[in-house]
Amino acid sequence: MTRLEQNDINEIATTLVDYDEALIRKTGCSLKEIAAQATGRRISELFDQNPQIAVIPMTCGQGIIEGFVESVASIITHLGFKVTITESRDTGGVAEAVQSGAEILFMADDDRFVAVNLRTGKVSDNGDATGRGYAVALEHMCAGLQDKKVLLIGAGPVGNSAALALAGCGAKVSVYDLNLSSSQRLFRELEKQGYTARLETDLEAALVRHHILLDACPAEDVIMLRHITTDMMIAAPGIPLGVQALGVEQLSERLLHDPLQIGVATMILDVL
Q: Could you list the residues that contact ligand 2YG (CB under 6 A)?
A: 1-4, 57-58, 64-65, 68-69, 108-110, 113, 126, 130, 239, 259-260, 263
The rounded distance, in Å, linking the Cα atoms of 2 and 211 is: 26
By C-beta, is 127 or 172 nearer to ligand 2YG?
127
Nearer to ligand 2YG, 75 or 228 (CB): 75
Minimum CB–partner distance for residue 240 and ligand 2YG (Å): 11
Q: How far is CA 184 from the centre of its chain?
A: 22
Nearer to ligand 2YG, 61 or 144 (CB): 61
Supply the minimum distance, in Å, between the C-beta of residue 2 and ligand 2YG: 6
Closer CB to ligand 2YG, residue 69 or residue 213?
69
Query: Rounded to the nearest whole angstrom, what is the least distance from the CB of residue 126 to ligand 2YG in the complex?
Result: 5
**Tell me, what DSSP letter sits at residue 226?**
G
Residue closer to ligand 2YG (CB basis): 65 or 235 = 65
- Nearest Cα neighbor of 49 from 76, 13, 21 is 76
* Smallest separation, CB 77 to ligand 2YG (Å): 17
Note whether 147 and 120 are within 8 A (CB): no
Strands (E), the chain: 53-56, 83-85, 104-108, 113-117, 123-125, 149-153, 172-176, 197-199, 212-215, 233-235, 255-256
Q: How far is the CB of 157 from ligand 2YG (least distance, A)?
A: 9
Measured CA to CA, the distance from residue 38 to residue 135 in angstroms comes to: 8
DSSP 8-state code for residue 259: S
Triad 153, 11, 86: Cα angle to 5°: 100
